[in-house]
Structure 1
């Protein structure tokens, strides 16, 4: 349900492959003035979508998951064209969505069923308390360019499962796969409860202004602007923002495992992942061994778009410039480059996998989000120093700890100020749909996934309190005689204090 402008708009949506410069496709940007009508159509269709109930919606989501599986090659081919990804990186997104859809299909009926709550006090046992989960009519999803398939739909699937309609706003850099995914939704026999708005800043503003709930994934700076605009209408938001994720390698770690995890976690998708490994703190006894293992692993990587490569290009030259600046400033401040460090000649927004050592927190490569294929490694003298440095950041998205002693690693994990910690692995928490995926500090508000909460976040809670008997208060509502008041106060105080007195003994 892409909006049809009332007036002819210039073709501002030409998309070029950042690896080759070739035109990948075009879209017509939506006139922001048309967005209220798009949202209104979605809001009308949502009523019947909610009325289908979890079982009815599960069948539709199942058909859509099958469609994605059957059209995976088509989706990934277009994904590579608009992002410059390698085939290896592009292959991750559709399976993730199918896994998420499968989880919600299996759990949505139970997760969204009304809950019966016990009475807080014995004298309230005459009341039956239920909590119902009622979907927001229209959920606006503002998605980034780094995973234009996965980030567009991983939250949308949860909202659709909850009974919401979704208004999608893909990045203006990667709008093509969104059109294909919308076509697939309709081709699988789904109702028109999914719509797309194409464009840049004004399109985002229109989506925020016309949605009942906003989920935004992107930079912390833009997330703050989205939240500020949503506050004008008191629209609730969920923000999954930037990160500067640390890895801690203890002296008892499996060094080969840690080194290969660090390289994959830092270089996957050319480092353009919010939960990528952006800085590493290694205990001094194993520092040299770890660095050597990292360099060996990086030297085996092949960079290029499409088949046969480990990772592809960055999204555009502006992202290359950020990466170049972080490396250049680090070297000027005393860091050493062990691999990469210089943009190759030729076409495309490529940057080589770059390992930096002799780094510290005076350098932007250790404190600012790079979002590029760099891996700065810092030697530390103690676990306490590693924890302190890991927490010395305005971000708090995720982290990782490597040690053969799992309990020791877990004890360190709960001292790290972030939303998720992987022990002896990286990024794997994204596959755990029963766990929340959210950031602390400048990395966000709220979380995606988290079991039933992944769907319930897109619902309003409605309490329904009903009598268990036909006996009502009747004339006692305003029985305000002094004798009745004293008797009621004495009884209520006695009942309310019964449990605290037992616990306090």
Structure 2
């Protein structure tokens, strides 16, 4: 079975050696950051950020444009290192850089408008003597603690928004996948960008130092770790945005295109070996199409090729501990009466691979339907109605995203709005990640706030500052103490009458 692991190994000089979980080959080495040095790094970023903010949206857009071009020019190099570091298939690795370029392109075009000061109208006629302007002022240092499953995309999809907003970024990659972050950092400097992006390499102590020295934290990872991040950040009242675990359901209604739904379920479940926050982790299929759906899924899974690099559909799992979770969930399901129609075991031979596993006869007494697996499994449950499917889909502490399949799109959209999650795809899976115009985030224990997407993806990194200035000197100081008490009473009576006009009309 093999005992290779992607967990970095430290030698006496704190140099980390990272091995490929698919082959055991050394992918590279990187030096750990001394946690005590993070304060100095953050201070340097805070100094550089002032000039970065002063460039304005237009000036920052030019820098981000050069970086996007660099990413495109070096895509092959990035993907080779990505495969060596994670054991991904080439298909899996090919998704990450294009997503970053899409995000950068969107913000380059929209950041000037999204961050522009906004004029606000007066709430009452007599306040028209005031000019009200809302400004979006960037926070100095944004700390990003990124996960290992998409070490390129998850590192920069948030960093691009923070940099566009005018912040400096202190990036802490996963200790399991530190190499690609070094390459991305090299590209930032090679594209002529200022030193407002820095790395802090390491594990828990470095993460804590990043939290302690940042003005905003973006964390992506498990719900349990997210709670610890939030607790640490609360010591300094540092705001956080958390994108956490998921147990995303897919609902197949009786009028669905069964072939399309099956193709989507297989891709959504096994892409990146199931190590995706928005992967399909459980399926509810209405009884009339259940048998046809299961047969189509098994047929598709039988055609999948597992392995790293070219010619494979999905690659290795990140390490033995992650594979053990998948093993436990499958064993628990089978012990409670489920059947594995495909896979059900670790692949023999070298590498950390688990065979794509389709589970049927499952229910909510089984961990595979209630706990996040983050592995290549696809449990399918038969249900009698759309109402039952919705109830079961919502019977979860998670609420990241979901999918609904039906030929009646309006019906599917109505079902979607009954699901307790941050995003729903109709007749597709995972596509909400590509919608750069809308924020992506989770409900319940799947997160707080939202990450990239839309103007919200920039403004989340900003502090709101309202400036109220006089349009004229007339009326200034009407409620000051130096006026007579009778005048103040008249003023307050007038304010009350004017403010009540709207409520009285609405209440009729």
Shared fold by TM > 0.5?
Answer: yes
- Verify: 1:50 aligned to 2:49, yes or no: no
- Verify: 1:21 aligned to 2:33, yes or no: no
Tell me: CA distance 1:379–1:477, structure 2 relative to 1, closer, same or farther (3 Å).
same
- Verify: 1:238 aligned to 2:241, yes or no: yes
1:275-313 deviation digits (Å, cap 9, x = unpaired) = 000000000010000000000000000000000000000
Shift of 1:479: 4.3
1:326-358 deviation digits (Å, cap 9, x = unpaired) = 001100000001000011211110011100000
Aligned counterpart, 1:445:
448
- Verify: 1:220 aligned to 2:205, yes or no: no
Aligned counterpart, 2:33:
30
Distance 1:340 1:119 in 2: 65
For the Cα contact (< 8 Å) 2:78–2:183, is it kept in 1? yes
- Verify: 1:306 aligned to 2:309, yes or no: yes
Shift of 1:140: 0.3
Gaps of at least 5 residues in structure 1 are 1-7
1:112-131 deviation digits (Å, cap 9, x = unpaired) = 00000111111111101000
For the Cα contact (< 8 Å) 1:230–1:237, is it kept in 2? yes
Aligned counterpart, 2:183:
180
Shift of 1:9: 6.6
Given the alignment, which residue of 365, 379, 382 partners 1:379? 382
Given the alignment, which residue of 267, 277, 280 partners 1:277? 280
- Verify: 1:462 aligned to 2:465, yes or no: yes
Superposed, 1:139-178 pairs within 5 Å as 139-178=142-181
Tell me: CA distance 1:482–1:226, structure 2 relative to 1, closer, same or farther (3 Å).
same
Aligned counterpart, 1:261:
264
- Verify: 1:200 aligned to 2:203, yes or no: yes
Tell me: CA distance 1:69–1:130, structure 2 relative to 1, closer, same or farther (3 Å).
same
- Verify: 1:111 aligned to 2:139, yes or no: no
For the Cα contact (< 8 Å) 2:478–2:488, is it kept in 1? no
Aligned counterpart, 2:232:
229
Given the alignment, which residue of 483, 499, 502 partners 1:499? 502
For the Cα contact (< 8 Å) 2:129–2:475, is it kept in 1? no
Distance 1:483 1:150 in 2: 64
- Verify: 1:74 aligned to 2:116, yes or no: no
- Verify: 1:291 aligned to 2:289, yes or no: no
- Verify: 1:352 aligned to 2:355, yes or no: yes
Aligned counterpart, 1:65:
68
Given the alignment, which residue of 95, 118, 125 partners 1:92? 95
Given the alignment, which residue of 404, 408, 414 partners 1:401? 404
For the Cα contact (< 8 Å) 1:13–1:199, is it kept in 2? no
1:257 is paired with a residue of what secondary structure? Answer: helix
Distance 2:423 2:477 in 1: 53
1:178-200 deviation digits (Å, cap 9, x = unpaired) = 00000000000000000000000
Given the alignment, which residue of 200, 210, 214 partners 1:211? 214
Distance 2:480 2:304 in 1: 77
Shift of 1:405: 0.4
Distance 1:450 1:337 in 2: 38
For the Cα contact (< 8 Å) 1:9–1:28, is it kept in 2? no
Gaps of at least 5 residues in structure 2 are 1-10
RMSD: 1.1
Distance 2:396 2:475 in 1: 58
Shift of 1:473: 2.7
Could you state the TM-score of these two structures normalised by the residue count of structure 1?
0.97
Distance 2:478 2:414 in 1: 60
Distance 2:35 2:344 in 1: 42
1:369-414 deviation digits (Å, cap 9, x = unpaired) = 0000000000001111100000000000000000000010011000
For the Cα contact (< 8 Å) 1:141–1:215, is it kept in 2? yes
Shift of 1:491: 1.0
Q: List structure 1 runs of 4+ shifted beyond 3 angstroms.
A: 479-482
- Verify: 1:102 aligned to 2:112, yes or no: no
Shift of 1:461: 0.4
Aligned counterpart, 1:3:
none
Aligned counterpart, 1:39:
42
Distance 1:489 1:103 in 2: 48
For the Cα contact (< 8 Å) 1:11–1:29, is it kept in 2? yes
Shift of 1:475: 7.6
For the Cα contact (< 8 Å) 2:144–2:169, is it kept in 1? yes
Distance 1:299 1:475 in 2: 79
Aligned counterpart, 1:431:
434
Distance 1:88 1:12 in 2: 31
Could you state the TM-score of these two structures normalised by the residue count of structure 2?
0.97
1:448 is paired with a residue of what secondary structure? Answer: coil
Shift of 1:498: 1.4
